[in-house]
Amino acid sequence: MSYVNSDALVDTAWVADHLDDPAVYIVDGSWHLPPTGRNGEDEYGEAHIPGAVYFDIDAISDPDSALPHMMPTAEAFAAAVSAMGIANDQRVVVYDSDGLFSAPRVWWMFRAMGHDNVAVMTGGFNAWKNEGRAVSAEIPAPAATKFTAQLNTNVVRSIDQVRANIDSGEELVLDARAADRFAGALPEFRPGVQPGHIPGSGNLPYAEIVDAAAGAFVSATDLRNAFDAQGATGTQPVVTTCGSGITACILGLGLHLIGRDDWAIYDGSWTEWGGRDDTPKGPEG
């Protein structure tokens, strides 16, 4: 069984065939967890797909928030994307180092800002290199464009909305973190963030729906089964969360692939929830 929205993904061969297509814009959205010591922009500067521009998830964010990489205003997003040379009539293709980690976050941000013509390249830069395809260290200097953005607030959830949902139960909250972090068995690496999870939430670790070796999603059937097992059958809206709003977007993209588009991202995620003293925390509740 194939994905319902298969156009949300492209492979390395497709990207190689469209490197010189002016209607296609390639974006490197690599980002790494702080404990890895890796820096996506530095790695992009060393080597990237020829012509690709770098999308800095940390920089293209709300400067007034103390939380990491929160969604910026539509005006700030449009200004940043315009400076990259991206126009509204172009197909944006996002990749990251590993295949499916941070690229879905950039994919979601474009869609949240009204640009649906965006896809993720499966396999990532690792696959691109392993296939012997051309790489470049040249940083493009594109001419600025006029990109128009409008934030769809229906696809973003605030802490107040998630708090209210604990009592109402109207939306199913799914946490993409690993099971031991969800259970509170491991300390959180961000200072001041307590372990645990949002009471009443379910846990679908993103690693369970991604083939890490291939940098791609599992089959459509396996995706459906994984979400169904958590109660995300398409009959109830879903809010996805994680550590800081990155891997939550992997769950969101997975839902989109199987045609279940009634979902939103809790942007502050556990960094916000676990970093406050006034929020209830599971497993104790």
CB 3 within 8 A of CB 258: yes
| Burial track 169-186 (b if 16+ CB lie within 10 A, e otherwise) | eebbbbbbbbeebbebee
Q: pTM, whole model, 2 decimals?
A: 0.97
Tokens of 108: 């979601």
Which residues have a catalytic role annotated? Answer: 242
CB 209 within 8 A of CB 249: no
Task: Give, for all 285 residues of the chain, the pLDDT tens digit.
Answer: 699 999 999 999 999 999 999 999 999 999 999 899 999 999 999 999 999 999 999 999 999 999 999 999 999 999 999 999 999 999 999 999 999 999 999 999 999 999 999 999 999 999 999 999 999 999 999 999 999 999 999 999 999 999 999 999 999 999 999 999 999 999 999 999 999 999 999 999 999 999 999 999 999 999 999 999 999 999 999 999 999 999 999 999 999 999 999 999 999 999 999 999 999 999 854
CA 88 to CA 23: how far, in whole Å?
A: 10
Residue 58: exposure state from Cβ atoms within 10 A (0-12, 13-18, ≥19):
exposed
CATH numbers and ranges of domains, the chain: 6-151 (3.40.250.10), 154-273 (3.40.250.10)
